Structures are given as C-alpha cells and as structure tokens.
Amino acid sequence: MLKAIVGLNWGDEGKGRMVDNLSAEADYTVRYHGGSNAGHTIHTDRGKFKLHSLPSSVLRPTVTGVLGPGMTVDVEGFLGEFEAIREQGVTADRMLVADAASICFPFHRDLDGAEEERLSDGRYGSTRRGISPAYGDRVMKKTLLVRELFDRENLPARLAAVLDWANERLVQIYRAAPLRLEEVTRWAEGMAERLEPHVVDATDLLGKALDDGATVIAEGQLGALKDLYYGIYPYTTSSTCLAGHAPVGIGVPWARVDRTVGVTKAFSSCVGAGPLVTEFDEERADRLRRQWGEYGSTTNRPRRLGAFDAVATRYGVRVQGADEVAVTNLDQLSGTGELDLCVAYRRDGRTVREFSPRPAELAASTPMYETLPGWDEDISDVRSYEQLPSGARQYVEAIEELLGVPVRHVSVGSHRDALIEIK
C-alpha cells in the first residue's frame, strides 16, 4: 500500500507529526521531492527534533527512511543531521539515499543567496538552501546524480563541466570568486566515502517492497500552494508538492497512491513572499506569533499568520486528491476569542468561492468570514473528540463541511501523542 501525507496550504502545516504518527504502522517512509529547505518538527519524551533532510519516521526504529530520486540531496546536511540525531540517542541506521537523486552542492546555496540579493525588493523569500539552482541544474543536466559520486573514471570530467557552469554564474552574474576544481573534487570524494553505506536503488527496493505488500508512506514537503505547477507561481518551490507526483518521486512511477492524507493548520501561516488573503494585521500577527512560537523550522523567520482560509484549503484538497484531512494546532486557538473562517473572497464586486493561484487576483481579493464562538479551555490533554469543548468541535465540523472531505485527525498539542483520531 502506498500512502501520501501532503500539505494543503503554504507549508508548515504539521506534516512531520502526522508522518511520525502514521508511520508507526509503515515499513518505509520516503521523501519524494524538495531538499533541506523545509523543516519538520517532532516533539517526543526525548525532546524536540527538527528535521530538514531526514524523513519524519526517523524516530521509528523499525521503519526504513529513504530520500527519494525526486529529491535534490544536500549531502552535507543529510550526513550532519544523521550524525546529530544519533548523538541524541536515536537509532537512525535505516536511513537510505536514492542513487538517482540529484546533488545540491554547497555552491548551489551560494547561488541561491546571491540571486535573492540581486532581486532585492523583488525577492521570492527563498530559504537560501540552494533548492532552486539545484533543481534548475538538474533540468539543464548541469549537476550530478548521487550515483555519479562513485564513478571514479568519469567523475573528474563530470565535475569539471558542472563547475564550469557554476563559475559562469558566480563570476559573470554575481561577481563572486570562482570555485576551484581541486577543492570541489576533494569535497565530492569525501562525501562519497561517507555517503556510500546509505546509497540504494530506490526503484528496485520499493518496487519489490510494494509487490510484497509493504506499506510505504510518501512524505510531502511544503504544500499545494507552493507547488511548482499548481501553486501561487512564482511564489512557489522548485518541485511538485502534489500527491500525484509521489510515485514518480519515490522511484516507482507505475504505482498508484491508495490513500492521501491532506494536512492543514487550524489557521493560516506562511513563510516567504506572495499574497495571503486572510493575513492578520502586524500587531495581531506579532502577538500571536510570539504566543504560539510561529517561526520557520528551517530559517527561524517569523511566519505570516491569518485566519483559516477555506477557499485556498479546498483548492489544496482538490489538487492533492485528499481522501481525508488532518487539522493541526487546534490548541493554539484556545482563549483567542471569536474565530473567523474565510468562506469566500470578494473581488471586483463579486463573491468568489473558487480559488485562483494567480497572484494579481489574490492580491485584489478580500476575505468574507463566518464567525464562530471559539472556546477558552486548555485542550492539550484531551484525547477524545467527544471531550473537546463544543466550540472546538463546532470549528472542526465547520472546516470539514467547507472542505467536503472528512477530518480524521486533530492535533491538540506539540507532543507526538497530542493527537485525536476521529472514527
């Protein structure tokens, strides 16, 4: 069985904790796109774990985690994160990297940061982890696949070609110092030696696993509104975040996703530039941000906050093909007073209920709200849906009705166990 756990919004929805929870009954968890540019945070009795490259099942010792061929792998980041988590007492030996994944070199980070600086006020809000230039280079055939690190005969020529293209941009466009082939070659050889025990043919591994009846979870990064093709372009990531891409990105393009879990916060949050229709004013956003700890897991940048946007989230459900929804961070709304749900937009004097990913149309839209009473009780210890305050249940049920798919999970706290399953 192949399950996909994906974001319905702008990212930061809490996918990591859902992967951690649902992988308890899985055999494999596979990251199918992206790189180290978005973080997943998991809270356990051992402490808080912030993951960037590793699959969120890493805390489950019986689950094999794979960085799939659809990823661009920050090799240094992966190895560093692997060692760090082992030092925290986690057995992480079942972490593998697809040989067909492409490499995000350190110079990709340099290129990413330099381009954001060049754009100045027009920047996209990149995490500066090198994702955009790394994916661009894969499309242009100007980077290496992981397996090429072990091709001793052809590696020098391939590295020279890759470096030539990188230096053209660094020197001619960004006026930076050129990279030296000898240094990059030493880096590649050192990384190859450390990475080799983790490298696997993901297509062979997962193809056989699915044939044998294994349960595989495809772990998405970011969310539908950041998807390269169906998100709010150009305020997107450089890969496709959609569940429909999961079979390709994990290495089994002939497979079919059997179940898709779409994850959304109980409110809106976004890191980076682009329109956010329900965004709070800065005073309210800053107060709630500090109260809730809403800062990016990767960059620690303050997240932009707003009311729950059913128009945008319903679009996320549609393009993700979500069979069910998990609503996270419900506990953060306790004691915040009446709650607004955006049920439609007002644009050009018309009521609009269908989401458009066109930035100009979103910028010209204002939210239309339905207001619910809210609740004051602390719900972080509640483990049964029936024990939630009536206001919390009313809020969840309103979201379910607006999205048109069942809400099956609700998180009520940061700890991995603070999760309610709705039958």
Marked catalytic residue, from 33, 40, 245, 409: 40
Instruction: Give whole-number Cα distances, 385 to 109, 347, 395, in Å.
Output: 45, 37, 12
Active-site residue identified among 12, 74, 309, 331: 12
- The number of C-alpha atoms within 13 Å of 113 and in the hemisphere containing its C-beta is 7
| Whether 201 is catalytic | no
258 is catalytic: no
Which residue matches tokens 């030296």?
180
What are the catalytic residues? 12, 40
